[in-house]
Each structure stands twice: as structure tokens, then as C-alpha cells.
Chain A
Amino acid sequence: MIQHPGVLALLLASGLVSLLLLAAGWQGLRILRGWNLQSGSEVQLDLERRTYLVSTLVANALVIQILSLFLFIFTAEGLHTQFVGAMCAAGSLAVNAFGYPTLLAKIATCLVAGVWLILHRADTQGHDYPLIRPKYVLLLILVPMVLAETWLQASYLAGLKADVMTSCCGSLFGQGREGLVAELAGLPPRIMQPAFWITLGAFVAAGVLLLRTRRGAGVFSVLSLAFLLVSVTSLVSFFCLYIYELPTHHCPFCLLQREYGFVGYPIYGTLLGGAILGLGVGALAPFRARKSLSEALPRMQARLAWSALVLALIFTLIVGIWMVLSPLKL
């Protein structure tokens, strides 16, 4: 399977991301160890220059990682014909034990890399590199995550063996392969529907509270992550049924297909973006006491929270429109 061009592209991308982050992590380690802002020595000046390198590397890695998240799903989609019983990407991912973990790891690395860039942005607002330590500690956490993701993906792809026709025996008969999606699909809309609206309500309420009183950043953050999880579960459980107009089609990946107007892109884009921004709000919260950030941080948090809420509402609007206009009624 290694020779499929899409698989090659994925392996190349994850190799590159690992390389970029290893380099960034190495620089981060040097910065953590040698940092001394009071000194005007050449070493310190050099380390400060290296902060630009690290942020460039991580920003590029994040972009590649997000692109490869979608490429991964698409490749799984394109390969489903080669596995008996796989109807779409959901089936291809279930072909071996590494498929879904890879997907989750990709999402997790995107979230953490996004939060890192938010921390970095905040750090550049203060005149004394206020977040240099937390930032590079987080980077050192991100590096093994990315390496793990690379390993998971390589294991998944290496473990793919097409169910090819052989001359000695005729048909291969498989049963349906759905995996994680099947389990999520099992969650009845009766439970998920109220769960979604309650989570959305709580999220918006926490957002309003945060914007009004500048308090509750942590709660807002947790709720933004919860909103991501509940939304994805609700998508599988019932939202997508309205979009597919089929009472039994639960696949979260087919949304990305042309047949459904590529509606999956805004759906997942808003969810992923909203979660990154929401988590960013919470990640900044512990540092509001830093003097050099006392003005910039609350402003930044408010902007992030606003954007996260807007993205969540756009998501709700999209799925809501389909729910109302769909000929399917549950």
C-alpha cells in the first residue's frame, strides 16, 4: 500500500512535520537552558534570533498538519474500494487498529500546535518575553505528540493490505467495517440532541460571562473542548442524517465529498478553529498576572473568545439550516 501516491504524500508530510518539530524542540531546549534576558551577550542575542526560527517552524508544521488531516481522510476515502466491506473512509480507518488513533492524534496535535501559536503571539506582546518558559515547555510536550502521530500513521499505512483477488480462490466475503463511527452512531439522537443544545448554551453563556466580567476563562476553555467533542458526536449521531437525507447514513467523512457541496469543510473548519481559539483563552489565563501582559492579555482573550463563539455559531447555523430544510424528519 506504501506505493499509493496519497500514502506517500502523507508519509512525506508527517516526516517533514516531525523533522520541523524536532528542530524546533532542539532550539527550544537550547533557549530554555541558555535564556538570560538581562544579559546582552552574543549568546542571548543569538537565542532571541532563534525564537523566530522556532515560531516559523511551528507555524509551518501546523499548516502542514492541518492540511494532512484532510488529506488523511481523503486518502482513507480513496482507498476504501480496496477493502472488502468498507463503504467509505470510516471503513478504511477501521481496517487496522491504528486508523482511528492516527486521526485522533492528528487532531490533538493540531489543537496543541494552535494553542502554542496563540501563546507565542501573546509572548510577542510583552516587552520582556513573559511566556518564554511555558511556551517552550509546551513545545517540548508537542514534539513527542507529533512523533507519536507519525508513528501511528506509519503503522496504519504500513498495515494496509488490499483485499486483492487471487487466482487460487475466488471471492472474499467480509462484513461491514465501521469501527468507531459505528459506536458513535449508536448514540441515540434522543440523548445527543439535548446534549448538543445544552453544551452550546453553556458555551455561549461562559463566553458572555468572560466577555462581560473577564472571568471564567478556564471554564470557557473546557467548554470549548466539550463543544468540539459533543458536536462531532452529534454530527455522527443525527446532524449528518439530515445532510445525507438518509436515516441510516452516519458517516462523518462523506460530508467532505462533492455530493454534499463540500459542507464538511466549513463544518470541521469552524469546529477545529473554534476549539483552538477556545483552548487558547484558557491557556493564556494563568499569565494574566504578568505585568508586561496585564493590558494585552485580557484584550487578546476577549478577541479569541469572540472568534471562538462566532465560529461555534457559524457551525450551529450550518447544521441548523440543514436540519430545518432537510426533507428528512427524525
Chain B
Amino acid sequence: MRPSVQRYRNILDFALSSLLRRKGRNLALICVYTLVVFVIASLIFFVQALKREARELLVQAPDMVVQRMVAGRHDPMPVAQAETIRAIRGVEAVQPRLWGYYYDPVYGGNLTVMATDDTALAVESVWVGQGVARSMRVKEGDMISLRGYAGPMLFSIQKVLPEESELVSSDLILMSPQDVRSLFNLSEGLATDLAVQAGNPRELPTIAAKIVEQFPDARPILKSEILRTYEAIFDWRGGLMVVVLSSAILSFIIFAWDKATGLSAEERKEVGILKSIGWESADVLLLKFWEGSVVSLTAFLGGVLLAYVHVFFFSASLFEHALKGWSVLFPRYRLLPALDGYQLAVLFFLTVLPYTAATLVPIWRAATVDPDAAMRS
């Protein structure tokens, strides 16, 4: 081995043995460090997973939805407009959609009611999502009663939708178009909105512009816009939490600084001995650098691992309170594991860099002890 490489190895070995010799002290540091990484990592992973879920949710959504706006509010749309829109160049298909929200007082939340053309679904029966089944405590074959426009309506549950990604179907109730119409009192010839499919997605903006031109009361919404809005909201929420947590980061920096500055008398003496027997400041700096790296790496990996388990196996249960606002959007989630290099890099920046920076000056101070200090004590 080349001497310069051997030097790195020797000093790394000694750093490891030094860390082990001061187990108690270093363990306390690593625990706090791991906790900080864990909290921030949980948050970042959680937001990332939600973003991914939202993106997957939208994969099945149409490229563009056209709504009708009356007095600034969303209003049912004449189905006849579909024909006019289909005539626009570049439009491949237009599909009128029937859906709405149903507020359930027992459940305490909004359910999404949607019509499906699937002929397997009989009139006066429904398919429900996992979330609906869970909260109403119903199963296949049971009956549920919904308050319709003309009084209570009774439906038999034909199927509980499978739990692929819960977000898609959790709060969903599917029924036949005519049931939707009578539930919401929508007359024939009106739809909630129109789903527009374009041959080439690049032409969507042009198509949207033409629709607005022909129907001034139409509001076309592109899938990409929804995606953009979701992402912005998630980032904003997640970032807000990180901002709040930065107080945690800050106190951690102070803690690290304090730990590093308050090198124990024993440690200080040891550095003095090393310098007196022929170690140079640069060697001690390298030693302390290795020690810091091992501590950081251990805490980082530990924190990431714990956060992974927390978010993807326990659905971020520790954050339930803080993140309650999101549960309106996603009634209950079982997040699919998702982890990428970028998230880890951001996490590294937010945790390891402040720690490293905070310890630089104390380390330098320790490393530049006079070698002759060890000759008197």
C-alpha cells in the first residue's frame, strides 16, 4: 500500500478505536444526531410519498377537464357542448362525466360519488372504496342508505374496491349514471364536466384556448396544471414543517458545537500526547475528521432507516397530529415505499452539513495544541 493511503487507513483505524473507547459520550451525541435526522427524514419521505401518490392518482385522470363556470362557481355542463368540442382539431375524444361530493354526517367527511359506465354495476347497487367500507363498517352484500335529493336512497354494496393504491379509491362510491342523477337531482342533458382527450398532449393548450373562445363560460383545466398545483402545495406544506423544524436543527448545531468545544480533559491530553510523539496538526485534523465522519454516517444511516420504517410501515404515525390537515384530502393512506437520491441529498445537506460546519473550529482548536503541552501537566 502506498504510504499516503496507509496513513489514511492507520488514522481511520485509530479514530474508530478512539470512538469506541469513549462509548458513553459518543453514544449520547449519536442518539441526538440520529433523532434530528429521523424527524427531518420522516417529514421529507412523507411529503415525497404523498407527491408520488398524487402523481399516480393523476395518471388515470384525463389530460384535460372542461368545467362550466357560472358567477365564478362550478356549474353543471350541457352535454351538447361535447359535440362542439369534439369538432375542434386535435381532440380525440370527449367524455361527459358525472360525479359529485356527498357529505356523510356519520363518517364526518366528503365522499366522492362517481358514475361508471361499467355494465357489471347494476342499478341501485354500488362499489365502494376501502375507506368508505372501513368507516361505515360495511362489507359486500350489506345495504347503505344515502340522503338523496328526493329522500333517502338504499343501495346494496356489490363490491369493495381492491386496495391497490388507496388514494385512488379510498373515499369513492361508484354507481350507475341514472343513480347519480337522481341522488344529485341532475337532469338528463347535463354533466358535471367533460373529460377531453387529445391526440398529441402538446396541442392541449391550443385546444384549451379554442374552447374558451367558443364557450366563454368554460374553464379548461389541464392535468399538468393540477399536478403543478399539487406539487406546490405539498412542497409548501413540507417546507413549512422543515422551517418549523429548523429550530430543532439549530439547537442541534448548538449542541454539536458544545460537544465539540467541550473536548474532555482526557481527550485533550490524548491529542497532546499524539502531537508530542510525532503527530502533526494535519494528522490530528484528519483523525478528528474521521471521527466526525463516522459519527455523521452512523447517525445519518440510523436516522434514515428509522424514518423509512416510520413512514412506510407505520404511516408516519408520529406526525398524525401535525399533518391532520392532509387527511381531508387522503382519508387514510398506506404509503408505498419511495426513496430517491435527491431526497437523501437534501437530507444530507440539512443535517450533516450544519453539524460538520459547527465542529470545524473546535476541531482545529484541539488539533493545534502545542506539542510541548504534553511535557507538563
Contact = CB atoms under 8 A, between A and B. Distances in A.
A and B touch in the complex (CB under 8 A): yes
Interface of A: 1-10, 12-13, 16, 19-20, 23, 49, 52-53, 56-57, 60, 64, 67-68, 70-71, 74, 78, 81-82, 84, 162-165, 167-168, 170-173
A168 B231 CA distance: 20
A162 B360 contact: no
Contact of A171 (B221, B231, B357, B361): B221
Contacts of B222: 171
A10 B342 CA distance: 12
Interface residues of B, number: 46
Interface stretch (B132-140, B234-242, B299-307): B234-242
Contacts of B225: 165, 171-172
Given A60-B357, A163-B228, A164-B232, A170 B243 contact: no
Contact of B349 (A60, A71, A78, A164): A71
Interface SS of chain A: helix, strand, loop or mixed?
Answer: helix
A12 B349 contact: yes
Contact of B364 (A5, A56, A162): A56
Contacts of A70: 345
A163 B240 CA distance: 19
Contacts of B47: 5
A152 B281 CA distance: 36
Contact of A165 (B229, B242, B346, B363): B229
B367 interface: yes
A52 B357 contact: no
Nearest to A83: B228
B242 A170 contact: no
B168 interface: no
Nearest to B222: A171
Nearest to B218: A170
19 contacts: A1-B235, A5-B242, A9-B350, A10-B349, A16-B354, A19-B357, A52-B282, A53-B364, A56-B360, A56-B364, A57-B360, A67-B345, A71-B345, A82-B232, A84-B228, A164-B229, A165-B229, A170-B219, A173-B205
Contacts of B236: 3-4
Nearest to B204: A171
Contacts of A52: 281-282, 285, 364, 367-368
Contacts of A64: 353
Given A7-B239, A173-B208, 7 more contacts: A5-B235, A8-B242, A16-B354, A52-B368, A68-B349, A164-B232, A170-B212
Contacts of B363: 56
Shortest Cβ-Cβ A-B pairs, 4 listed: A3-B239, A9-B349, A170-B219, A162-B232
A60 B352 CA distance: 12
A55 to B, nearest CB: 9
Contacts of A60: 356-357, 360
Contacts of A78: 342
B221 A165 contact: yes
A163 B226 CA distance: 11
Contacts of B219: 170
B240 A13 contact: no
B232 A67 contact: no
A49 B285 CA distance: 12
B220 interface: yes
Nearest to B67: A170
B209 interface: yes
B30 interface: no
B36 interface: no
Contacts of A165: 221, 225-226, 228-229
A82 B235 CA distance: 11
Contact of B281 (A12, A49, A57, A81): A49
